Copies of this chain bind each other. A is one copy, B any other.
Amino acid sequence: MNDRKQHVIEMAHQLFIDKGFQATSIQDILDYSGISKGTFYNYFSSKNELLIALFKLIYKKMEKNRNELLIGQNPSNIDIFIKQIELQLKTNRTNKLISLFEEVFFSNDPELKQFIKQGQLRTLRWLFQRFTDIFDDSKKPYLLDCAIMFMGILQQNLKYHELAHGSNHSVHQVVRYSVERIVRMVDEVAKSGDQLVQPELLENLLPDCRNTDQAFQQELYHTVLVLKKALNHREAQTKYMELLEFIQDELLHSKNPRKFLIESALLSFKTGQAAFAKKDVQKLDQLVESFFHQIEELG
């Protein structure tokens, strides 16, 4: 991404935060970022395109931060989950994301609408995956319902808690309360056996975009977490843990991931005698393969 283009996005973001999306004219953006109209339309085909570019930036950052909180942690630890939620709410707030989202969701630009819908589905998928980390496998058929309801509960509680206590209200308390509610609800709903939406919905709605950057990251994180979870206490501190973290780090944060190192690490998993589920190891293998396939394709 062009430096200058990035700069324009940032300046526009500032304006959006200050006065809202609709109320910010293109002329405002031109003045504030010091470019000419021609350049603007060279970068973005419309104001909506600029907004999409902005959303993409923020998404990327948020998912990165959110995932980093999990590294080396027990994924079923609910306190980590709470921290992740709080982090997202914080970036939401500083970026005025909610306002921007909703201000624009009912615009008549179908492309923009579709983009935002996808974004919401992605956060829902993330929530669902985290719930499967946190809750027992037997609860799984109900966890998508619970993820959906959790979004609603949290949203509303935040809204009215802020209304009651002003902008200096305690986000932490709201998150804790909402999580507490959903934890009880998971038990209750599983006991009653009542299901509203099948978890398969997600797979149908979110096209399999394994090769896009963000989806890949998410899948990788999740697969590594599942494998970590399979480690028993004795093994937890051993080489497997380290190997997993090495693979993850090398894939995500190294400029030139060393294929041979990662493949050798994978070999340890395939031949080792730790109690890994075969399919999880295969999943990781497949992810690594598709990763390098993509790298080589681009080069």
Contacts and interface: CB of A to CB of B under 8 A. Distances in A.
Interface string A138-160: 00000001001101111111011
Q: Give the interface size bracket for A toward B.
A: 35 or more
A173 interface: yes
Interface string A179-204: 01100110011001010111001000
A161 interface: yes
Nearest to A100: B106
A157 B194 CA distance: 13
B197 A164 contact: yes
Contacts of A153: 149, 152-153
A192 B164 contact: no
Contacts of A197: 157, 160-161, 164
A149 B181 contact: yes
Contact of A189 (B22, B103, B181): B181
B102 A201 contact: no
A198 B164 CA distance: 8
Given A156-B149, A164-B201, A196 B184 contact: no
A20 interface: yes
A105 interface: yes
Contacts of A51: none
A158 B161 CA distance: 23
A97 to B, nearest CB: 12
Contact of A108 (B23, B108, B151, B157): B23
Interface of A: 19-20, 22-23, 99, 102-103, 105-108, 124, 145, 148-149, 151-157, 159-161, 163-164, 173-174, 177, 180-181, 184-185, 188-189, 192, 194, 196-198, 201, 205
18 contacts: A19-B108, A20-B106, A22-B108, A23-B108, A99-B106, A102-B105, A102-B106, A148-B159, A149-B156, A152-B153, A152-B154, A152-B155, A155-B156, A157-B197, A160-B201, A163-B201, A164-B201, A174-B196
